[in-house]
Amino acid sequence: MASDILVVGISGPSSSGKTTLARLLRTAFTPTQGSNINIKTLLVHEDDFYKADDRIPITTTSSGKLVQDWDTVEAFDIKQFVSCLSHPTSDENMEFDKMKELVGDGAFVREDLGIVVAPDKGEGSMSRLLDWAVDLILNKVKEIKEIEK
């Protein structure tokens, strides 16, 4: 039996509540005891996919100082990240055949799900994406709660 997979990405500045929100969502999606709903959640933290300290690229600051550049895409192990998402548990497999990594402009595309996540190009595009995601998640939670009744 094929299962629906919903990937929720949360981004924001340091200490903005990303992990707290992720844990709240995990709790919201956890079926109550005795439920016949089979939902699995997995939290994946981006920080777990940075390369080893000795493999982080070096950059020169405006003052001429050499420092590690943790903000460059080369510091991030994208292949390992995609591999983790491709096999979230031992008995499930997300299909990423149509996933494209457009690292140059920072966009990620899931064509099969009709999802495009890109840097905010103005006009509130990220705000609209967030509104869409929240509505989608809340509707899914409502469906689950109705089935459990």
What is the pTM for the complete model shown?
0.47
Domain membership of residue 13 (yes or no) is no
| Tokens standing for residue 38 | 């089979």
Domain membership of residue 1 (yes or no) is no
pLDDT at 144 over 50: yes
Domain membership of residue 5 (yes or no) is no
Domain membership of residue 127 (yes or no) is yes
* Phi-psi sector, 25: left (phi>0), alpha (psi -120 to 50), beta: alpha
Q: How many domains does the chain divide into? A: 1
Q: Catalytic amino acids? A: 47
pLDDT at 64 over 90: yes
CA angle 73-79-82, nearest 5°? Answer: 105
pLDDT at 132 over 70: no
Domain membership of residue 45 (yes or no) is yes
Q: How far is CA 72 from the centre of its chain?
A: 18
Q: What is the pLDDT of residue 36?
A: 65
Give the domain extent around 29.
18-148
Domain membership of residue 139 (yes or no) is yes
